[in-house]
Amino acid sequence: MKNGTSTILLLLFMFFISCENKKDVIEIYLTKNKVESYDGVPLRTAIKDTAIIKQVLESYKEEIRIDTINDKPIYMGHFLVGAKDLEEKPFINDSEILGLDFKNSQIYFSETVSKKIYNAIPQWRKTNYFGKQFALCHNGKIVLSGYLFGSMSSYWSNTYQIRYHNFPAVKRKNGIKAVAFTITDSLNFENNNLKKNIEFYNTFKNRLID
């Protein structure tokens, strides 16, 4: 009887491990509201002249932060995000995330993602002048956070960024229509720099695109 019980427990354990190994869900969530960056200092702290503050707000439509060391504006800085900050449902589902080309820093989505972004842009621009914040999750855990913004934007992020195109070229990957957007870490455009984030690389280890 003990041997039978042990066998059943072993089989259940192996089944559990097998299910865990098969679990490989990647999703991208948007933030409910803009999460303030921790880079630099707030505009109103760095600048006391109300006329300049007013001019900046009129120009950029939202608060920016200031790098007081280099005396430069920070448009899209690093930010800390938790599950409570994210929308309830993913903006980009697991089935829509096809893979990542680390060599060329491109993330591949199904064609539906391009349409989602295009339809969301008017709403995003009402509250996010520079870029829309997102979090990329693997099996429910936040792996990295950054900004989604247009490839024609004049502004860049200090952290991770996915630059989308309004009319991207549609490619075929494994028989599926796909669009490729550039994904980079800050202003570091060195080839394969994304591989330095081990957790991020492991997230896509089963979806690598050459």
Domain ranges across the chain: 23-35+78-210, 40-76
Q: Where are the alpha helices (DSSP H) in the chain?
A: 2-22, 43-46, 50-60, 111-127, 198-203
Give the per-residue pLDDT at 29.
99
Higher-pLDDT residue of 166 and 137 is: 137
pTM: 0.83
| pLDDT band, very low/low/confident/very high, at 112 (cuts 50, 70, 90) | very high
The predicted-structure confidence for 168-202, as pLDDT tens digits, reads as follows 667 766 666 899 999 998 766 665 578 889 999 99
Give the per-residue pLDDT at 71.
87
* Cross-strand partners of 72: 67
